[in-house]
Amino acid sequence: MLKKFILGKRQKTTPTLRDKIEKINKLPVPEHVAIIMDGNGRWAKKRALPRIAGHHEGMKVVRNTTMLANDLGIKTLTLYAFSTENWKRPKNEVEYIMKLPEEFLGTFLPELIKNNVQVKMMGYKDQLPVHTLRAIEKAMEETKYNTGLILNFALNYGSRAEILDAVKQVLNDNKNGILKETELDEKVFSSYLMTANYTDPDLLIRTSGEIRLSNFMLWQLAYSELWFTDVLWPDFSEEHLLEAIEAFQNRQRRFGGI
């Protein structure tokens, strides 16, 4: 897989990038990487462009990040594309972001399919525009048998709402005799979350210099390694992803032990 990446798929792979990939490939890579893609607005502002230009540029970075994550053998890449709080943004910006999945998948779905990537989504589907949901569901359908990287878009996702909904379902199942109180443990509770089918993220990346979680995967990130960078999302390159993974590989994960 990696060999293919190094030898053929990207003409622009520089020797330095190739060296870094080879080095990283010698150690285990994180199974699940989650990213808070932040800084699109500031990227655009710095260039006197409208904020949506930053989101458009950010979309291209989604493609490059996905391809490299897939080549590195990362199993799941969860990207925070729109939060349940992002509806507070100006209408034109929200409408633009809601068109991005169509543009992204319209442009890159054939490449994702060719590279065995499986597209998934987590979040509250009901409030999404029909055109957005349709594009994502089409991509999910067309990639459902793919066995490479799972590209999981967190779209209209909010962690507190997710946890609260899980609690309500647990109470309901308990009331209906499906789940006994003594059976409820962390593993069972996790199965009520939108991430039921995934392992918890091993590595969380947040761009743009903000050091917070912004209601993202609060339960799932309990033992994740966190990596923050000042780089704005549209400037996030393959080198930056490799830097984050290298930092992860140098961390000692103790999960509360010694």
Catalytic residue among 19, 25, 38, 64: 38
Does position 24 interact with ligand FPP (CB under 6 A)? The reply is no
Catalytic residue check, 230: no
Residue 236: both structure tokens together: 């996030």
Catalytic residue among 64, 86, 146, 174: 86
Q: Looking at beta carbons only, is 21 or 67 nearer to ligand FPP?
A: 67
Q: Looking at beta carbons only, is 21 or 79 nearer to ligand FPP?
A: 79
Does position 233 interact with ligand FPP (CB under 6 A)? The reply is yes
Q: What is the dihedral of CA 40, 31, 187, 155, to 10 degrees?
A: 20
Catalytic residue check, 173: no
Does position 58 interact with ligand FPP (CB under 6 A)? The reply is yes
Greatest C-alpha distance within the chain: 61
Measured distance CA(258)–CA(190) in Å, rounded: 25
Measured distance CA(225)–CA(143) in Å, rounded: 29
Closest CA to 153 of 195, 207, 106, 215: 195
Residue 213's Cβ-side half-sphere holds a number of Cα atoms within 13 Å equal to 18
Residues 165, 85, 121: CA angle, nearest 5 degrees: 60
Does position 62 interact with ligand FPP (CB under 6 A)? The reply is yes
Closest CA to 75 of 17, 116, 136: 116
CB of 55 to ligand FPP, least distance (A): 5
Interface pick for ligand FPP out of 24, 37, 151, 194 (rule CB under 6 A): 37
Q: Looking at beta carbons only, is 159 or 208 nearer to ligand FPP?
A: 208
**Other beta carbons within 10 Å of 221:** 17
Positions at the binding site: 38-43, 51, 55, 83-85, 87, 89, 206, 212-214, 225
If binding means CB under 6 A, how many residues of this protein chain bind ligand FPP?
20
Which regions of 158-224 does DSSP assign to beta strands (E)?
A: 203-206
Does position 41 interact with ligand FPP (CB under 6 A)? The reply is yes
Kindly identify the residues of this chain, within the stretch 81-140, that bind ligand FPP according to CB under 6 A. Answer: 81-82, 86, 97, 100-101, 104
Site string for ligand FPP, 193-222 (x = CB under 6 A): ---------------x--------------
Give the sign of the dihedral formed by CA 238, CA 134, CA 76, CA 117: negative
Cα 213 to chain centroid distance, Å, stands at 13
Residues in the chain, total: 258
Q: Looking at beta carbons only, is 20 or 51 nearer to ligand FPP?
A: 51
Interface pick for ligand FPP out of 20, 33, 39, 128 (rule CB under 6 A): 39
Radius of gyration of the chain (CA): 19
Q: Looking at beta carbons only, is 17 or 154 nearer to ligand FPP?
A: 154
Interface positions with ligand FPP (CB under 6 A): 37-42, 55, 58-59, 62, 81-82, 86, 97, 100-101, 104, 153, 208, 233
Active-site residues, by number, are 38, 86
